[in-house]
């Protein structure tokens, strides 16, 4: 990162009383590099913002189901989308798992006390679900340094690639306290050098207090300040500018995007699929905000992420909720039969065992086994294991719909599933 690439206000050497600037650090190998001490997020933005995109994105958010009025189907879809988000967001940072993995029952894995990419991605999903409840109840009051650290701890504690202390901020003298972004591991070729360790806690506090300010949020929602998509974009840019942890910042930052929607009362829309597909544009927009304090590009990007992700979510939801009718047409299932009663269970539990099906339906194990056999015979699910005991079944159409690449048509995913279902 070159000092001359920064906005004039950021090029000044940081000193006591400064609101932002650059600073060198006393760390072997880093003495000649400048690191950015970012300003607090702004209350107003002087540059022109994309008003049309903001209005459309804001309208789409306001059409999302509200937590207090959501029904069981809304919650099932939210459960599934949370896991898709965890997979896509983690994949952006090199932690690989699949929707198939994270929807497989935990008892089929032996991960007691160990680390794995699957466990890390599940930790991401579970952390979001836990914090959603707090966000729906407390609104913006949930945003704090403690929240950021808690999210980080739950993601990274199971990440096999992470060598730091989960949930701990960068601080002088700690391993991994100095970070740089880009440059293919050559610090001299970095594209951005985040906050020096001694300023991390204070700079993060400024970001989280900005997000926590309920009056500021309410003014924006009332049309007298920053609308929610703008607040999301600005907060995200500043959180990533601080880069408070030695690793995992992108994942925590994207979790905060979802939690901002939840804090406004909505079942969140997930954006990581779009961000993964448009990663080059995402980084470019983020750099403009971080280095130039130009927020137009990141606001435009975030709005397009909302618009495209809402379209993708609607397509997926419509396809998922249409499956029971499709399944019923394949087998002419008797009303109230165990097999037919399992249809919505398959959407929320697309990978399952007979024991799970028995527990959900409240029938005997032999009855559940007969229902599973009927679902296999009618090409609704596929038996994956081939074992006489502890068999695992999969509703492949659900898996393929959730696993498809962002922007791919649902029809293609359903065709792939049909090939699997026809296999013997």
Count the domains in the chain.
2
Which mean pLDDT values do the consecutive 10-residue runs of the chain (424 residues) have? 94 94 92 95 94 97 92 90 93 88 74 78 93 95 98 94 92 92 84 96 98 96 95 98 96 97 95 96 97 98 98 96 95 91 95 94 95 96 80 95 96 95 81
Residue 345 lies in a domain: yes
Q: Mark whether 281 and 172 lie in a shared domain.
A: yes
Residues 122 and 206 in one domain: yes
User: Does residue 116 sit in the same domain as residue 239?
Assistant: yes
User: What is the token pair recorded at 97?
Assistant: 């798992």
pLDDT confidence of residue 387: 61
* Residue 35 maps to a domain: no
Residues 295 and 378 placed together within one structural domain of the fold? no
Residue 34: inside a domain? no
Q: How far apart are CA 8 and CA 291, in angstroms?
A: 10
Number of H helices, E strands in the chain: 19, 5
- Decide: 273 and 309 in contact? Cβ < 8 Å: yes
Of 312, 346, 372, which marks where a domain is finished?
Answer: 312
Q: Is residue 50 domain-resident?
A: yes
Query: Are 72 and 114 in a shared domain?
Result: yes
Do 233 and 182 share a structural domain? yes
Q: 186 and 144, same structural domain?
A: yes
Encoded tokens for 54: 């903001």
Residue 320: inside a domain: no
Considering 248, 279, 312, which residue would you say is the last residue of a domain?
312
149 lies in which domain range? 40-312
- Which CATH number is 176's domain given? 1.10.3290.10
The whole-angstrom separation of Cα 290 and Cα 81 is 30
pLDDT of residue 369: 94
**What distance in Å separates the CA atoms of residue 44 and residue 300, rounded to the nearest whole number?**
17
14 domain-assigned? no
Nearest 10 degrees: CA dihedral of 194, 195, 201, 206? -90
Per the domain annotation, does 373 fall within a domain?
yes
Handedness of CA 284, 285, 290, 291 (dihedral sign): positive
Asked if residue 175 and residue 51 are part of one domain, the reply reads yes
Q: Within this chain, do residues 288 and 353 fall inside the same structural domain, yes or no? A: no
pLDDT of residue 113: 59
Question: pLDDT at position 256, please?
Answer: 98
304 and 353, same domain (yes or no): no
Do 298 and 369 lie in one domain? The reply is no
Q: How many CA atoms lie within 13 A of 213 on its CB side?
A: 20
Cβ distance 276 to 406 under 8 Å? yes
Q: 385: domain CATH number? A: 1.10.10.10
Kindly state whether residue 128 falls inside one of the protein's structural domains.
yes
| Predicted local distance difference test score (pLDDT) of residue 110 | 54
Residue 338 and residue 305 share a domain: no
């Amino acid at each position: 990162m070159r000092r001359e690439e920064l906005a004039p206000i950021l090029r000044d050497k940081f000193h006591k009383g400064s609101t932002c600037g650059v600073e060198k650090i006393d760390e072997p190998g880093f003495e000649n590099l400048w690191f950015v001490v970012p300003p607090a997020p702004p209350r107003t933005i002087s540059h022109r913002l994309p008003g049309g995109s903001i209005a459309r994105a804001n309208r789409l958010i306001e059409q999302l189901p509200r937590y207090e009025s959501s029904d069981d189907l809304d919650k099932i879809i939210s459960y599934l989308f949370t896991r898709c988000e965890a997979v896509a967001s983690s994949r952006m940072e090199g932690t690989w798992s699949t929707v198939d993995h994270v929807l497989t029952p935990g008892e089929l894995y032996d991960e007691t006390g160990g680390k794995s990419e699957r466990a890390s991605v599940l930790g991401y999903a579970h952390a979001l679900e836990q914090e959603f409840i707090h966000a729906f109840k407390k609104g913006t009051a949930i945003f704090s340094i403690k929240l950021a650290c808690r999210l980080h701890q739950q993601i990274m504690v199971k990440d096999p690639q992470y060598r730091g202390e989960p949930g701990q901020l960068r601080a002088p003298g700690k391993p991994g306290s100095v970070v740089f972004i880009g440059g293919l591991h050559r610090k001299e070729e970095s594209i951005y050098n985040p906050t020096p360790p001694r300023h991390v806690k204070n700079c993060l506090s400024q970001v989280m207090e900005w997000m926590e300010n309920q009056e500021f949020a309410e003014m924006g929602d009332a049309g007298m300040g920053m609308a929610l998509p703008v607040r999301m974009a600005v907060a995200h840019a500043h959180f990533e500018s601080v880069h408070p942890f030695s690793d995992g910042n992108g994942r925590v930052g994207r979790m905060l995007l979802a939690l901002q929607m939840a804090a406004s009362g909505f079942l969140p829309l997930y954006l990581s699929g779009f961000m993964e597909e448009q990663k080059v544009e995402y980084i470019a927009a983020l750099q403009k905000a971080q280095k130039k304090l130009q927020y137009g590009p990141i606001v435009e990007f975030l709005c397009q992420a909302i618009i495209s992700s809402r379209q993708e979510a609607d397509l997926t939801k419509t396809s998922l909720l249409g499956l029971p009718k499709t399944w019923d047409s394949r087998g002419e299932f008797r009303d109230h039969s165990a097999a037919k009663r399992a249809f919505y269970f398959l959407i929320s539990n697309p990978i399952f065992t007979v024991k799970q099906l028995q527990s959900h339906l409240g029938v005997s194990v032999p009855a559940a086994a007969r229902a599973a056999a009927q679902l296999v015979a009618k090409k609704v699910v596929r038996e994956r294991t081939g074992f006489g005991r502890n068999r695992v079944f999969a509703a492949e159409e659900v898996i393929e719909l959730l696993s498809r690449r962002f922007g791919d048509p649902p029809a293609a995913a359903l065709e792939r599933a049909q090939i699997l279902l026809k296999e013997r």
